[in-house]
């Protein structure tokens, strides 16, 4: 069996301890954490965001151990600077207009190209890389995996607020990001050659300078031998990140296993898949998604059970049954969005929501004082 390695990138909010607003202090955290985390922390487009990434992990247990170590150090570094870090796909009330852009060449170029579309992109995601046997197989896996993206995404929904408003979405982050070009569920590609022709045309015409400017929800990575999931909101609890990564790894392994047996299943048009993504963004795990085979709307819970049954024969091979089954804990507790909305309902205070987000992000990571 191919070793479906895992790499995880988490985008954290940097929050002022007193105001609970986002603050542009990424440099403080990178400087404070450089002794332990220098290889794992990166700037992002806004200075109120910090990206933390693992190395290449052989399995989900390794990924959990590394994420735990990194998150503990990140939280301590933030505390030492009188700051906090938090999960969440958006901040409940911070305004993008008052958040500074990182002064790096790459980000200045993006803002020059896209103006307020880039400046307003104050959102936080989870990106997971799964190792693939080849780019050719990666494109085939990408074609099939598109169907499952809304199912995985629904479990991650964690951005119900935007600039102080309850948006009516469980993931408003996706509604913000859709303003960018080359986003959303990718199209079907008949081969890696067709995919490369598409990229080469965009480069040749000066549309992009490299394939990293393709920001789809799922992409065969232009530089690494991985397929990268980019659709999910940044979770709060570490257990949620680990669960999502385990499900992604299992889906890649299962689809590859079918291909090895000369099996696959029907490909659906992107237009149809986008309908399910919209439903997942709007209502998360409370949504009804379309079962295209039955031509019916089906409760998300039923489709999650089908998904977990589909991957069941690779779960033990990958030693991640507990991590995958945490999906049922998310169903029981609610996604991050459900829980944020419940705190607002109970308190009427978005600062209390931020406090909750910080406490969930720190859950199990800091000693009780």
Mean pLDDT, range 116-132, rounded to an integer = 94
Residues 6+ apart with CB under 8 A from 256: 2, 4, 132, 133, 137, 141
Percent of the chain with pLDDT over 90: 80
CA triple 31-130-198, angle to 5 deg: 100
In the structure, what pLDDT confidence band is assigned to residue 367 with cuts at 50, 70 and 90? Answer: low
* 80 vs 265, more confident: 80
Nearest to 240 by CA among 306, 154, 147: 154
pLDDT above 50: residue 12 = yes
Counting every residue written for the chain, the total comes to: 369
In the structure, what pLDDT confidence band is assigned to residue 59 with cuts at 50, 70 and 90? Answer: very high
How many Cβ atoms from other residues are within 10 Å of residue 348's Cβ? 8
16 DSSP β-pair partners:
83
Mean pLDDT, range 176-195, rounded to an integer = 94
In the structure, what pLDDT confidence band is assigned to residue 28 with cuts at 50, 70 and 90? Answer: confident
Listed range (66-70, 117-121, 335-339) with the worst mean pLDDT: 117-121
pLDDT in tens, 64-74: 999 999 999 99
Kindly list the structural domains of the chain, giving each domain's residue range(s) and its CATH number in brackets, ordered by start: 6-361 (3.30.590.20)
CA triple 25-362-155, angle to 5 deg: 100
In the structure, what pLDDT confidence band is assigned to residue 31 with cuts at 50, 70 and 90? Answer: confident
Mean pLDDT, range 115-123, rounded to an integer = 90
Mean pLDDT, range 50-60, rounded to an integer = 96
358, 360, 363, 369 alpha-carbon torsion, rounded to 10° = 50
Residue-wise over 212-251: b if at least 16 C-beta within 10 A, else e?
ebbebbbbbbeeeebbbbbbbbbbbbbbbbbbbbbbbbbb
pTM (global) more than 0.85: yes
* 190 vs 212, more confident: 190
* 267 vs 324, more confident: 324
Rounded distance, CA 307 to CA 356, Å? Answer: 30
C-beta of residue 152 within 8 angstroms of C-beta of residue 229: yes
Q: How many Cα neighbours within 13 Å face the side chain of 226? A: 20
In the structure, what pLDDT confidence band is assigned to residue 1 with cuts at 50, 70 and 90? Answer: low
pLDDT above 50: residue 369 = no
Rounded distance, CA 234 to CA 152, Å? Answer: 13
Rounded distance, CA 224 to CA 228, Å? Answer: 9
Average pLDDT of the residues of the chain: 93
The predicted pLDDT at position 40 comes to: 84
Mean pLDDT, range 226-236, rounded to an integer = 98
């Amino acid at each position: 069996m191919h070793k479906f390695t895992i790499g995880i990138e988490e985008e954290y909010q940097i929050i002022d301890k007193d105001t609970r607003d986002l603050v542009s202090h990424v440099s403080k955290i990178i400087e404070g954490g450089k002794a332990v985390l220098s290889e794992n922390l990166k700037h992002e487009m806004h200075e109120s965001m910090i990206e933390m990434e693992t190395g290449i992990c052989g399995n989900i247990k390794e990924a959990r151990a590394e994420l735990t170590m990194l998150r503990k150090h990140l939280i301590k570094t933030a505390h030492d600077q009188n700051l906090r870090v938090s999960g969440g796909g958006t901040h409940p009330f911070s305004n993008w207009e008052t958040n500074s852009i990182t002064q790096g060449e790459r980000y200045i170029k993006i803002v020059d190209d896209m103006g307020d579309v880039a400046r307003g992109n104050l959102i936080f995601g989870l990106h997971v890389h799964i190792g693939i046997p080849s780019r050719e197989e990666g494109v085939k896996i990408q074609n099939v995996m598109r169907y499952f993206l809304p199912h995985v995404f629904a479990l991650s929904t964690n951005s119900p607020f935007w600039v102080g408003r309850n948006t009516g979405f469980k993931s408003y982050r996706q509604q913000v990001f859709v303003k960018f070009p080359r986003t959303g569920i990718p199209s079907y590609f008949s081969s890696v050659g067709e995919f490369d022709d598409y990229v080469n045309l965009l480069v040749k015409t000066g549309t992009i300078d490299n394939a990293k400017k393709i920001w789809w929800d799922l992409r065969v990575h232009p530089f690494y031998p991985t397929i990268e999931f980019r659709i999910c909101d940044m979770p709060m609890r570490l257990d949620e990140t680990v669960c999502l990564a385990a499900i992604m790894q299992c889906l890649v392994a299962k689809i590859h296993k079918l291909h090895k047996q000369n099996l696959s299943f029907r490909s659906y048009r992107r237009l149809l898949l986008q309908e399910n993504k919209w439903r997942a963004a709007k209502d998360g795990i409370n949504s009804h998604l379309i079962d295209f085979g039955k031509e019916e709307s089906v409760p998300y819970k039923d489709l999650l059970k089908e998904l977990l049954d589909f991957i069941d024969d690779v779960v033990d091979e990958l030693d991640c049954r507990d991590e995958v089954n945490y999906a049922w804990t998310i169903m029981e507790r609610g996604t991050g969005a459900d829980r944020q909305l419940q705190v607002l309902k109970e308190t009427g205070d978005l600062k209390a929501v931020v406090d909750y987000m910080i406490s969930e992000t720190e859950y199990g990571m800091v000693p009780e004082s």
